[in-house]
A and B are shown apart, each in its own frame.
Chain A
C-alpha cells in the first residue's frame, strides 16, 4: 500500500506541477490535495466495476448533493455541464480542478460567468424568459386560492426581467446579467443555487486540505 502510494504520489506531483501552471487560485500543494481527493472519489467509482478516467454524471451529482449541499436537479445538471468542458459526459481531473477553482475561490467575475453558463440552459448565450420560468418552476408553492398557479411565477419572472434586462430585448445577455449582479450581488444565483455556500466551502477545504497536513 505504501509502495503504491509512493508511486502514485510521484504521478500526482507531476500532475500538480502541470496543473498549477494552468489553474489560478490554488497552490501546488492544494492542487495535490485536490488530485488525491479526486482519485479517492474515482477509486470508489472504479471499485464498483467501472474503469473510468473521470467522474460520470451520477457520481458527480452525488458529490454535489452530499458534499456541497446542492439539491436542485436542474442546477446540478447545469453545474455538471459547466464542469464538463469538453462535453464527454465525464469530469476529468483537470476539469475537476478548474471547476473547483471557481467553485471555491472564484472571483466575482468568474462566478458570474459560471452562473450565467449554468442558467443558459440551451447554451445560446442568452437567458430567455422561458428558461427562467423553466428553472423556477419548482420554486413556487401553489396556493389553493390562486386561479392560475403559474400566474404568480410569471409575474415574478416579468418583474425580474424588468430589473435585469437593461437593453430591453426580453433576453438576458451576459452583459445584462453582469450589470445586474454588480448592482446587487444577491442576483448572482438568481435562478437557482449553483454554488456551494461558505459553510460547505469551509468544510470541504478543511476536509481536503487538511489531509495534506496529516500526511
Chain B
C-alpha cells in the first residue's frame, strides 16, 4: 500500500498541512481496492489479520458509540473492543473523535460496522496515516526489509517475525496489484504515445552529429529499460502519465533534464541519485513536444531545425546523404501529423479491430475485444478530459462494433465509428509494418491498390487479375480491400469507359460484396448508382456482372431503395427480355440467358421491398418472368421463382400468376430434384393458393401429390415450411383434401406436430384444421395422437400458431366423442384461457373453438362452472371493440345460455345489458349470433323484460329487413322469445313487426315459419286479451 499511496494517489496539499485525497475516479477506485483487501484479509489470511500493529492506526472518525454493538464495551461515548492484545490493551478504542485500531481483523470488523460510510472511514484513515506500513509493521522492520531485502536483525521472536514477513509480503502484493490495475486504467485514457516519443527521440538522435550545424550535442535516456508498453518511467510515475526521462546536451547552454509525460514535455529537477525522488519535480512549463521545448531552450536548435527541415535539400549537407535528409523531412512531417494533425487514418489498426471482430462469433468477440484493448495499451496516450476518455473507452467502441458486426448497422453509426477510429487510432506506420498479426494478403493488397492508382487501363486489368488470384472470399481480404482504399478505386473504375477495367472491377466486387460490411460501404460510396449505369451497356458480360453485383449488394433495405431511385428496376427488367426468335442470334443465346439470369437474381434481391414489387410490375416484369419460368435451367428458375414468390405477397401478382398460366410451371418445377427450387415453388403456391381458382389449378395440374412428397424432406425446414404452407392453403378446397388423403398426407402431417419450428407448425396445424372439416378425419386426428400434440401446442405463445391450433381443436370438437378426450387432456381450459390472449384473432378463434366444446360436452355445466372466472371473462369480452371477437363471444353466450344455471350466472354478470348495447350493429354475422344469444338469454327470469328496457327490441325488429336467411332465422327465434313479454309486443307492434312476420311465415324453412308464427300468435293473444279486457271494462 505504501507505493500505491505515495505514487498513485492524487493528493492535494491544503494550507492546513494535512493532505487530502482528492475525489477523483482514480482515488475512488484505489480506495475501493484497499477496502476490498481489508474486508477480505480476515477470511483469507486469519493469522496475519490477527497480528497486532506496531503503532495503532489513528484517525478522526465520524462513527459514534451507538454504532458499536456486539463485541464492544461501550461506556458513555468511549468504546473499547472486547478483544485485547497480549498486554491487555483493547485492539480498538474510540474516544471521540479519535479512533485507534491495532489489527486488521478489527479494521475489517470496523468497516462492517461503518456500513455505507466505510469508504469515508478508509479515506480518513489513509489521510491521517500517511505511512500505514510504518504503523503496521514498525519503522525498524520496514527500513530493514525495504532497503536490504533481508530479514530484519531486530531481535524479535521468530513466530512473530514470520507473521510480520508474511503480512509484509501480503501488503506488497496487494500494493503491486493495485498499482498494476491503476496503470492499466490510466493507460486506457492516456494520450501521448510512447511510440511517438520514441520516434521523436530517434529523430533527434540522428541530429546529434559532429560539426558546426548539428542540432544537439547528445541525447540519451536515463534508463535503458523499456516496459512492455513502451514507457521507460517507473510504474508509479507512469501512473502519473510520465513516459520517459531524457538528458539532452544542446550545442549552447546547459544540459537539460527532460520529462516526457502524457501531459506534455517539461524540464525536471535533474537526475542526481537513484531513489531520490525530488528530480521528478517539474521545473518548467509544459511543452507540446520535444522540439518545441528545445526550440525554447536552445536558440541554436531553434535556428537550425527550421533550416534543416526546410532547406535541407539545397544545403547539401556534408555529413548526410541527401536521401537521409529527405527521410528526415519525411519523418518529420509524419511526426507532426501524428502529433497534431491526426489526419491520416491508420487503417491497419481499424482493420484489425473490425476485421477480427467481424470474423468471429460473439463468444470470441469478447476475447478479441480484450486483446485489442491490450494491444491498445502500449499506445498509452493520456487523455485528461474525462468525457473524451469516456468516448474512447474500449467498451464503448466495442459496443458499437458489436452492432456493426451484427450486420444491422445504420449508415450513421458506421460513419460515426469510422470517423472515431480515424481520430483515435492514429499510430505511426512503422508499428503496423512490424505487426505480426497481419496476414500476407494484407500487404499484397496494399501493394496492388497502390498500383491500381498509378496504372493505365492495361496495367489496371493486370492488377485486377492479380487481385482475383487472391482468396477474395476471405473476410480479411475483403476488409483489407475496403480499408486500404481499394473499394473506392474499384467503384471509380465503373465510371470509366474502359470495358475491361469495368469487367475486372465487377468481377472483384461480386465476390467481396458477399460481406455485409462492405455492402454498406458500397452503398455509401454511391456504388449502386454506378452499377445501375452499367446495366444498359452494350456489352453483355458487363451487364451480367453489374446485375450480379447488384443482386449481392441489394440485400439491405436502403440499397434496394437506391436501386429503384436510380431507375435500376426498369433496367433490370429489361435484362429479362432475352428470348428472341431470330435465328442468327442463337449464337448469343447463352450470353443473353446469363444476362437474364443475373437480372432475375438482382430483381429477386430487390423484390423484398413492396415498392420495388410495384416497380417491377409497372416495368412489365411479370410476363417476362412468366416467360423465363419455362426455362429448362435450374439456375435460371431459382431467381425467377424466387422473385415471383416474393412478389406473390401482392394481389396483382397473384392474379397474374393465376391468369398467365404460371401455376402450371410452378407445379412442374415442384417435381425437379432441387431443394431450393422446390421450396420456392411451394412457397409461391402457398402465397397464391388463398384464391380458390388457384387451388383448383394446382389440383388440375397434378400439383398436390408432389407437395405431399416434399414432406419427406423433413430435414430441410425451409422447404418443409413452404410445402406444409402450400398444403394448408390448398386444403381449403375439400376436393384437394380428398386427394391429399389419397397420398396419406394426414398421417404425415400428424407426425409433423412435434419437434418442428414454429413456422412449420403453423402450417401443419392449419392444414389439420382444414382436414378436420371431414368427420372421418376428426376421429383420425384424435386417435392418431394428434389431439394430444395439438393441445400441447396451446401452451405456446406464437399467435399465428394459436389461431390455427384453436381452429383445429374446434374442428375436432364438433365430434362428440372427441370433446371428452379434449376435456380430459385439459384442452378446454387451455382454449378458454386463450380468451385472455392480447391478440383479438386468438381470442375470437378460441371462442369459436369453445362453441362445439360446450355444445358437445357431456356435462357442460360442470365443465364450465369448474372454470373459475371463465364466465366473467366471456361477459367481459362482449365489451371488445373487435367485431369478430364480439361475434364469436355471442356464439359462445348462445351455447352457454342453454344451461339455466350458467345463464343465471351470466345474467348476474350483466350479460343482458352488454348484449343490448351491441344491438345497433350493421354487421350481418354479428347480428345473427347476437340475435341467437338474445333469444337464448330470454329463458332466465325477467331477462325478456330487461331486453325491452335496454331498448333492444326495436332495433331487433329492423333485423327482419335483412336478406340473410341465418339472420332472419335467429332474429325470428329471438323475437318469438321476446314476444312472451307483453311490453315487448307493444314495441314490436310499433315497429311494424306484424307485416314482416306474416311475410316470413311464407318462408321455405319450416323452423323459421314456426318462430314467425309463434311470435304472431303471442302478439295476437295479447291483442285478444286486450280486447277482452276492454270489453269487460265497457260492459262490466
Check if A143 sits within 8 Å of B454, measured CB to CB.
yes
For window 129-155 of chain A, which residues contact chain B by CB distance below 8 Å? 136, 138-143, 152-153, 155
Partner of A186, one of B450, B451, B500, B538: B500
Residue of B nearest to A193 (CB): B458
Query: Chain A's nearest CB lies how many Å from the CB of B496?
Result: 12
Interface presence of A207 (CB below 8 A): no
B465 touches A163 (CB 8 A): yes
Give A184 to B459 CA distance when docked, in angstroms.
15
B58 → A minimal CB distance (Å): 69
Contact B538 A199 (CB under 8 A): yes
Given A139-B458, A140-B456, A155-B451, A198 contacting B466 (CB threshold 8 A)? no
Query: How far, in Å, is B918 (CB) from chain A's closest CB?
Result: 74
Cα distance A198–B543 when bound, in Å? Answer: 14
> Chain A nearest CB: distance from B637 CB in Å?
27
Q: Which of B456, B457, B462 touches A160 (beta carbons < 8 Å)?
A: B462
Q: Measured between alpha carbons, how far is A136 from B461 in the docked complex, in Å?
A: 12
B504 cross-chain contacts in A, Cβ below 8 A:
186
- Tell whether, in the assembled complex, residue B451 and residue A197 are in contact, meaning their CB atoms are under 8 Å apart: no
Q: Are A186 and B464 in contact (CB under 8 A)?
A: yes
| Residue contact A156 to B466, C-beta cutoff 8 Å | yes
Give the distance in Å from the alpha carbon of A72 to the alpha carbon of B456 in the complex. Answer: 11
**A138–chain B nearest beta-carbon distance, Å:** 7
Q: Determine if B459 and A156 form an interchain contact, defined as CB atoms under 8 angstroms apart.
A: yes
Taking CB atoms, residues of chain A closer than 8 Å to B462 are 136, 156, 159-160, 187, 190
B905 on interface, CB distance cutoff 8 Å:
no
- Closest chain-A Cβ to B739's Cβ sits at a distance in Å of 52
* Chain A interface main SS type: helix
In this complex, the interface size class of chain A, counting residues with CB under 8 Å from chain B, is 20 to 34
> Does B1021 interact with chain A (Cβ within 8 Å)?
no
Whether a CB of chain B sits under 8 angstroms from the CB of A189 is yes
For the complex, is A99 an interface residue (Cβ under 8 Å from B)? no
The residues of A that contact B538 with a CB separation of less than 8 Å are 198-199, 202
Q: Which residues of B contact A184 (CB under 8 A)?
A: 465, 468
A78 within 8 A of B: no
Distance of A199 Cα from B502 Cα, bound (Å): 15
Chain B residues within an 8 Å CB radius of A156 = 451, 455, 459, 462-463, 466
Nearest opposing residue in chain B for A180, CB measure: B465
Interface size class of B (residues with CB under 8 A): 20 to 34
- Contact, CB under 8 Å: B447 / A155: yes
With both beta carbons as reference points, the residue of chain B lying nearest to A187 in the complex is identified as B465
Closest residue to B464 on the A side, CB-wise? A186
CA distance A152 to B507 in the complex (A): 23
Known: A159-B466, A160-B466. A186 touches B458 (CB 8 A): no
Contact of A198 among B457, B464, B468, B499 (CB under 8 A): B499
B593 at interface (Cβ–Cβ under 8 A)? no
Q: Is the CB of B465 within 8 A of A153?
A: no
Report the Cα distance A199→B468, complex, angstroms: 26
- The proximity string for B residues 462-486 relative to A, scoring 1 for CB distances below 8 Å and 0 otherwise, is 1111101100000000000000000
Provide the B608-628 mask, 1 if CB < 8 A to any CB of A, else 0. 000000000000000000000
Q: Closest CB-CB distance, B466 to chain A, in whole Å?
A: 5
A184-B468, A186-B500 as given contacts; A140 in contact with B461, CB under 8 Å: no
Are the C-beta atoms of A141 and B456 separated by less than 8 Å? yes
CB distance from A122 to the nearest CB of B (A): 20
A187: B residues at CB distance < 8 A:
461-462, 465
Q: Which residues of B contact A192 (CB under 8 A)?
A: 458
The CA of A71 and the CA of B539, in the complex, are separated in Å by 21
Alpha-carbon distance between A152 and B462 when the two chains are bound, in angstroms: 13
* CB-defined contacts of B466 to chain A, threshold 8 Å: 156, 159-160, 163
Residues 305-328 of chain B, each 1 if its beta carbon lies under 8 Å from chain A, else 0: 000000000000000000000000
Measured between C-beta atoms, what is the minimum distance from B423 to chain A in Å? 25
> Cβ of A140 and Cβ of B454 under 8 Å apart?
yes
A-contacting residues, B421-476, CB 8 Å:
447, 450-451, 454-459, 461-466, 468-469
The answer to the question of A191 belonging to the interface, with a C-beta cut-off of 8 Å to chain B, is yes
Residue of B nearest to A184 (CB): B465
28 A-B contact pairs sorted by A residue (CB < 8 Å)? A136-B458, A136-B459, A136-B462, A139-B458, A139-B459, A143-B454, A152-B450, A152-B454, A156-B459, A156-B463, A159-B463, A159-B466, A160-B462, A160-B466, A163-B466, A163-B469, A186-B461, A186-B465, A186-B504, A187-B461, A189-B458, A189-B461, A189-B500, A190-B458, A190-B462, A193-B457, A198-B538, A198-B539
Q: Which 6 A-B residue pairings sit nearest by Cβ, starting from the closest?
A: A139-B456, A139-B459, A159-B466, A141-B454, A139-B458, A160-B462
Show the binding face of A for B, using Cβ within 8 Å: 72, 136, 138-143, 152-153, 155-156, 159-160, 163, 184, 186-187, 189-193, 197-199, 202
Known: A140-B451, A142-B454, A189-B458. 15 other contacts (CB 8 A): A139-B455, A141-B456, A143-B454, A152-B454, A155-B447, A155-B451, A160-B465, A160-B466, A163-B466, A186-B464, A186-B465, A189-B500, A190-B465, A193-B457, A198-B538
